[in-house]
Structure 1
Amino acid sequence: MRSTAVSPQSVQTTETAQVNEFRSQELTMQKRDEADVPVLSVSEVIDKLRERFGGCSKQPYPAMYSSIFGGITTDPTMMVIPIDDHMVHRGHGVFDTAMIIDGYLYELDSHLDRFLRSASKAKVIPPFDRSSVRSILLQTVAASQCRKGSLRYWLSAGPGDFLLSPAGCPNSAFYAIVIEDDYSPSSQGVTVITSSTPMKSPEMATMKNVNYLPNVLSKMEAEEKGAFAAIWIDDQDYIAEGPNVNVAFISKNNELLLPSFDKILSGCTAKRLLAVAATLVEQGLLKNIRVGNITLDEGKGAAEMMLVGSGLPILPVTGWDGKPIGNGKEGPLTLALSKLLWEDMIAGPASLRIPIRYGKAN
């Protein structure tokens, strides 16, 4: 493990600066006389919500399912969850995402299997069996009429109270929402930094739970420094993952390298990358494929680097901590892998692309 000596004075100076920055931000916040806060009727609340969400010419969230009301809504005003849901105030919940591409759900079953594994680790029992959950997801996308975007879904300990234990929650809760987006790959390279935000323990990192504050802070740190993402290094100085992406490298010997999944999230897209990359091995463009421990020096000294995730699916990395990866340009093998993976997403095996039966629009 690395250790750096930090004086109490420097810590105090940093904390003081952070407090002063927060106070300056407070001054810009809107102030309101507490006596002006109205008590609203149900109809007034709904009217205000409709006023807020009804102005968009096209809603970004065309459909939501909630087990709380037992159905699908296409009205954004109704896309809410209870404040006493333990996922909200205790972070007791898990989630996953599947991409919608040209009217198909890509790798739905792989994501659903991981979702249920996460639920088991989080000790949340789903309100429905697997086939029912799958059916609900397909019907939610069908109701949305969305052809391109993503489907995100959550399993929560459920509403009940504001205590720590879920014992007071009568039932778990299941939610799903469709997010419409013009999803397409990018060949434009990005830069990354090494994250100073502590990474999650392996027990938490391998479970796709809703506790994403470390991920958020890591992403914000990257953006504050002009980078796209911050990369975590584990306690043994091996490369781990990004805030919501896996990382992969092309070595100078033309090997595809990915960090071991034993301490990080088992990325469905990253695993699919390993499968499609075999094509480049057969063509002689890649020497081989290896999943294992990768040191920071190995990563920074690689010929190419890429970020891998459902929403990308592959993004070339051209620099790390201000220094170039390889020649500082998008790598040819990275772009070749990106093309292969995208072709798999739009025209791959039928077992990976689940068609949506849309029917008539509402």
Structure 2
Amino acid sequence: MYSSIYGGIIRHKFPLYKPNVNLEQLFGKHILFLFSFLTHENLNRAIRGGALESTRDVTIANREHLSDYLKVRDEYLYELDVHLDRFLSSASKAKISSPFSRSALRSILIQLTAASKCKKGTLRYWPSAGPGDFLLSSTGCPTSAFYAVVIDQELSQCKEGVKVITSSIPMKPPLFATAKNVNYLPNVLSVMEAEEKGASSSIWVDEEGYIAEGPNVNVAFITQDKELVMPPFDNILHGCTAKRLLELASKLVDQGLLKGVATKKLTVEEAKAAAEMMYVGSTLPLLPIIVWDDQPIGNGRVGELTMLLSDLLWDDMVAGPDTQRIPVPYAE
């Protein structure tokens, strides 16, 4: 993990996590909070995950922080630069100043991934107003903070379709929806509502009756006319993977398999009449949807074009251009 408060990349060797371990003695004078914990297969190696943060950080007290994540795939970081740009844009909206320049943040994330030795997984990172006085204002925080963690995780292509529902949980207003933050209570309740009804997740519809997004994911449709359509990003999160999919889909247009690619408003009725439907997000990166509110989408099976789009994303992760895949300098 990386902590700007604790002084950089942290790698400690100890066999297993024990609830009674003295973290203050182990890690120094800071009283630390164990945010999450993962170890490598060899338990004598460094901790792979675990964001250890000062308990006085407003991140824990007020959730006053942002979050972003991207894939580690076959010794490369996928879409690091576009995620980092969105990260800094979100920080600006939240009025959190980064403790480092963009180039320094980029270097930290690459070095952390190399130190973790993780070659397949996710890289997650957070800025915060920093250690302070537990109050709502950040004026009591002398310096902002930055945390990051690499999680060893095997991700595979999603080939089975899922069921979704229309969420009754209010969606976030545009100011919060367009910033990648950890105000996830609406997302959590939306997913729990879906699970209680035997579905996997949900779809948000805005106040005007147009399709918005899903919890932590964008949503896309293949119309009966074979056009790939996504809702406009004006009032929802501009997903990095969704943006990349729109670019890659032009290959299917050139092959005559798709008639076009567009972002435009869709009513619920129009969306449910689609031939195919899918979630799009960084850790998926594409998940077919076959049933919505107990109504089959198309023929109720995973669509051919959906899987072709999924293949494009997975191929891009494995063999895409240098602009998308940043090599990680692992030690020999």
Aligned residue for 2:111, secondary structure, equals helix
**Judging changes above 3 Å, is the alpha-carbon distance between structure 1 residues 206 and 79 closer, same or farther for their aligned structure 2 residues?**
closer
Which aligned pairs between 1:23-42 and structure 2 lie closer than 5 A? none
2:252 counterpart residue number: 280
Spell out, residue by residue over 1:305-326, the C-alpha distance to the aligned partner (whole angstroms, 9 max, x if none): 0000011111110000111000
Report whether the alignment pairs 1:65 with 2:2.
yes
Q: 2:167 aligns with which of 181, 186, 195?
A: 195
Aligned residue for 1:93, secondary structure, equals coil
2:95 counterpart residue number: 123
Spell out, residue by residue over 1:209-244, the C-alpha distance to the aligned partner (whole angstroms, 9 max, x if none): 111111111111111212111110001000000001
Question: Contact 2:169 / 2:190 at 8 angstroms: preserved in 1?
Answer: yes
2:315 counterpart residue number: 343
1:16 counterpart residue number: none
Cα separation, 2, equivalents of 1:256 and 1:266: 16
Cα separation, 1, equivalents of 2:317 and 2:143: 36
Q: In the alignment, residue 282 of structure 1 is paired with which amino acid?
A: D
1:50 counterpart residue number: none
Cα separation, 2, equivalents of 1:230 and 1:78: 29
Q: Quote the offset at 1:143 in angstroms.
A: 0.6
Aligned residue for 1:134, secondary structure, equals helix
TM-score (norm 1): 0.80
1:322 counterpart residue number: 294
Which aligned pairs between 1:190-229 and structure 2 lie closer than 5 A? 190-229=162-201
Spell out, residue by residue over 1:69-117, the C-alpha distance to the aligned partner (whole angstroms, 9 max, x if none): 1111234797421222112221211111110000100000000000000
Q: In the alignment, residue 69 of structure 1 is paired with which amino acid?
A: Y
Q: In the alignment, residue 7 of structure 2 is paired with which amino acid?
A: G
Q: After alignment, is 66-75 or 134-143 more displaced?
A: 66-75
Which aligned pairs between 1:47-86 and structure 2 lie closer than 5 A? 64-75=1-12, 79-86=51-58
Report whether the alignment pairs 1:253 with 2:190.
no
Report whether the alignment pairs 1:87 with 2:59.
yes
Q: In the alignment, residue 326 of structure 1 is paired with which amino acid?
A: G
Aligned residue for 1:94, secondary structure, equals coil
Cα separation, 1, equivalents of 2:242 and 2:51: 31
Aligned residue for 1:131, secondary structure, equals helix
Q: After alignment, is 221-230 or 256-265 more displaced?
A: 221-230
Aligned residues: 297
Aligned residue for 1:218, secondary structure, equals helix
Report whether the alignment pairs 1:179 with 2:151.
yes
1:300 counterpart residue number: 272
**Judging changes above 3 Å, is the alpha-carbon distance between structure 1 residues 69 and 309 closer, same or farther for their aligned structure 2 residues?**
same
Spell out, residue by residue over 1:326-351, the C-alpha distance to the aligned partner (whole angstroms, 9 max, x if none): 00000110011001111011100011
Cα separation, 2, equivalents of 1:351 and 1:119: 23
- Structure 2 residue runs of 5 or longer lacking an equivalent are 13-47
Q: 2:110 aligns with which of 138, 163, 168?
A: 138
Question: Contact 1:230 / 1:243 at 8 angstroms: preserved in 2?
Answer: yes
Structure number with greater Rg is: 1
2:29 counterpart residue number: none
Aligned residue for 1:349, secondary structure, equals coil
1:310 counterpart residue number: 282
Cα separation, 2, equivalents of 1:147 and 1:296: 41
Report whether the alignment pairs 1:244 with 2:216.
yes
Q: In the alignment, residue 166 of structure 1 is paired with which amino acid?
A: S
Question: Contact 1:101 / 1:183 at 8 angstroms: preserved in 2?
Answer: no
**Judging changes above 3 Å, is the alpha-carbon distance between structure 1 residues 231 and 162 closer, same or farther for their aligned structure 2 residues?**
same
**Judging changes above 3 Å, is the alpha-carbon distance between structure 1 residues 318 and 78 closer, same or farther for their aligned structure 2 residues?**
closer
TM-score (norm 2): 0.88
Question: Contact 2:50 / 2:149 at 8 angstroms: preserved in 1?
Answer: no
- Structure 1 residue runs of 5 or longer lacking an equivalent are 1-63
Spell out, residue by residue over 1:174-218, the C-alpha distance to the aligned partner (whole angstroms, 9 max, x if none): 000001111121111111100111000001000011111111111
